[in-house]
Structure 1
Amino acid sequence: MESLKKNKEFRRVYENGNSYATRNLVIYVLKAKNSYNRYGFSVSKRIGNAVTRNKLKRRLREIIREFEKKELFQAQDVIFIARKPVVNLDYQRLKKEVMKLYQKARLV
């Protein structure tokens, strides 16, 4: 799984991409120039301490890996932004949230 790392890459997706939101997560999606998907994660300090933020990012990465195995979509830059209530979700509910966002964005 490739990731968005540079501020310039994040800004490009924020400015040119489409956003979709649920109560717990927001995603920005932009058609990429490459032939593979790239992902970025934005988890604010308001979400929790470093352990909590990293746990959430690890869970999101694992959920994305499961969806990638199914090869649902290609050539997208996707940024996930966590909202405060996401801390209370277990793995299965978080997975359902991601699926809802993918459906809203018509990525599935």
Structure 2
Amino acid sequence: MPARPPRLKQRRDFQRVAGKGQRAARPGLVLQALPVPGQHLRVGFTATKKIGNAVVRNRTKRRLREAARLMLGGGDLQGFDLVLIGREATAGRPWQILLGDLRGALKQAGVTP
């Protein structure tokens, strides 16, 4: 069972990734990725009030956390700070399609070959 990747929690880290990182948008999520050589992979999650009330935002973030754990929790990926941003479709998107969105966004942002 893959472990959870370490988290981004501070606002300045989210802003640094948003300002300097690569961006990849998919129907189910938006990925921002910033290479950080010599560091472990860290992942942050966010969902804005535009997508719905607290219940919808929390469901969205739970789904993104689980997708990240499954795809990135193996520990083989190093040197990136990632931010996963939920969209309106994230909470209701079929699970396999959401995983495909994350896989495609990682590839587009240059995180995985």
1:61 alignment partner, one of 57, 61, 65: 65
For the aligned residues, what is the CA RMSD?
Answer: 1.8
Tell me which residue corresponds to 1:44.
48
Q: What SS does structure 1 have at the residue aligned with 2:9? A: coil
Counting aligned pairs with the same residue, the percent is 32
Where does the alignment leave 5 or more consecutive residues of structure 2 unmatched?
none
Q: Which segments of structure 1 move beyond 6 Å, counting only runs of 4 or more?
A: none
Equivalent residues in 2 for 1:1-108 (5 A)? 1-108=5-112
Equivalent residue pairs, number: 108
Instruction: Check the 8 A contact 2:35/2:79 in 1, yes or no.
Output: yes
Question: What one-letter code is carried by the residue in structure 2 that aligns with 1:99?
Answer: R
CA drift at 1:65? 1.4
Where does the alignment leave 5 or more consecutive residues of structure 1 unmatched?
none
State the distance in 2 between where 1:60 and 1:85 align: 12
More helix by share: 1
Structure 2-normalised TM-score? Answer: 0.82
State the distance in 2 between where 1:26 and 1:43 align: 10
Structure 1-normalised TM-score? Answer: 0.86
Question: What one-letter code is carried by the residue in structure 1 that aligns with 2:14?
Answer: F
